[in-house]
Amino acid sequence: PEPLKVLGKRKGLHVGNAIGGRYFRDSGYKALMARECDMLVAENEGKWKALEPRPGEYHFEPADEMYAWAKSQGMLVRGHNLIWQDAKWLPKWVNEYDFGAQPVQAAEALLRKHIVTVCDHFGGAIHSYDVVNEAVDPKTGALRTNVFTERLGAVEQIDLAFRVAREHAPKAQLVYNDYMRPDDGSKKHREGVLKLLHDLKSRGTPVQALGLQSHIGSWDDLGGAKQQQVWRKFLDEVTGMGLDLLVTEFDVNDRKLPGDVAVRDAGVAVLAKDYLDVTFSYPQCRDFLMWGMADNVSWLQGWKEAPRTDGLAMRPTPFDEQMRAKPLRDAIA
């Protein structure tokens, strides 16, 4: 079959994958990615925690090495991410930072320093940045708080991050990335994201696109026409603000599908097709990135919050652990 990147090119779509440090050492997996993809994102190596685990101590090498490989393969690179709004995923030292007698100035200075250092280091290597990741609390739709928002204000802090990124990555696409989904349980999340985007647009914040993480799958209501309608309404509103769309972290959580492999793989493919038919119908959507391409590499295998109750391994990606194509691969194609 024709590689996904070839099929994508015909539609004006880039096809990418998130690769983690461990599988970056696996030549077979890298070959699969090089065959199918023309875009790369580092699964963890571009995060603040990884880049600056202790203040002033930078670890750029793992990301540099991945981006250099991407370049050698003719792939574009996405940067993930400059600010992860959830305090849980900020470096510990940032959460414990002493902001001193002028906390507003100090918070702005620390945020600026991080974004400037990262953008200046990677320079033109980055085609597109997730400037802010997951700022909306899915349960309430309100903005999450952290050491920066507490001192600068939540919308103000997000706005600042985009402005600093714009100055120091003048050519990169600037993206707000989040995991709102089409199902009923995600209603507050979608509403919160829409509100945030409206607020940013009305401030003139240089946000250019919404990253649809697209960790789809086994939620309370599984796929179907109703979800397609809800999703279309959401995407209409986003694109109505003049924003582009990207699928940034695609995989399909199969925990509510039956254990039987053939039945499960077929169910996963149907869920994907329902979702992607709507999403790809928007000409504003020009990038499709998977969050892992083979089942064994998926973060979902280790996600303890919502495992399969039968203890079977998840099958969330287009290829199995032997890197054989699954029905999901056909659905994406």
- Show the site string, 85-124: x = touches ligand G3I by CB under 6 A, - = not: ----x-----------------------------------
**52 binds ligand G3I, rule: CB under 6 A:** no
198 vs 209: CA distance, rounded Å: 12
Bridge-based pairing of strands 244-253 and 209-212 is: parallel
> Which among 40-48, 93-101, 271-279, 323-331 is the span making contact with ligand G3I, rule CB under 6 A?
40-48
**Cβ neighbourhood burial of 82 (10 Å; 0-12, 13-18, 19+):** buried
292 vs 300: CA distance, rounded Å: 10
**244 binds ligand G3I, rule: CB under 6 A:** no
The dihedrals phi and psi of 3, each to the nearest 5 degrees, come to -60, 150
The token duo for 316 is 């969330």
Neighbours of 25 (CB within 10 A): 9
Place of tokens 């699969």: 32
Which residue among 85, 213, 218, 317 contacts ligand G3I (CB under 6 A)? 213
Q: How far is the CB of 9 from ligand G3I (least distance, A)?
A: 26
**299 binds ligand G3I, rule: CB under 6 A:** yes
Identity of the residue, 108 or 314, whose beta carbon is nearer to ligand G3I in the bound complex: 314
> Which among 39-47, 150-158, 160-168, 279-287 is the span making contact with ligand G3I, rule CB under 6 A?
39-47
> Which among 2-10, 43-51, 62-70, 94-102 is the span making contact with ligand G3I, rule CB under 6 A?
43-51
What separation, in Å, do the N-terminal and C-terminal C-alpha atoms of the chain show? 9
Q: How far is the CB of 278 from ligand G3I (least distance, A)?
A: 21
Which residue among 52, 108, 244, 249 contacts ligand G3I (CB under 6 A)? 249
220 vs 232: CA distance, rounded Å: 19
Footprint on residues 148-187 left by ligand G3I (CB under 6 A): 179
Q: How far is the CB of 21 from ligand G3I (least distance, A)?
A: 7
- The three-class DSSP label of residue 80 is strand
> Which among 42-50, 110-118, 165-173, 260-268 is the span making contact with ligand G3I, rule CB under 6 A?
42-50
- H helices within 103-148, ranges in order? 103-122
**44 binds ligand G3I, rule: CB under 6 A:** yes
The token duo for 259 is 């254990």
One-letter amino acid for residue 203 of the chain? R
**43 binds ligand G3I, rule: CB under 6 A:** yes
**Cβ neighbourhood burial of 28 (10 Å; 0-12, 13-18, 19+):** exposed
**301 binds ligand G3I, rule: CB under 6 A:** no
Degrees (nearest 5) of the Cα angle 297, 301, 303?
A: 125
Identity of the residue, 114 or 151, whose beta carbon is nearer to ligand G3I in the bound complex: 114
User: What is the contact surface with ligand G3I in residues (CB under 6 A)?
Assistant: 20, 43-44, 47, 89, 133, 179, 213, 249, 299
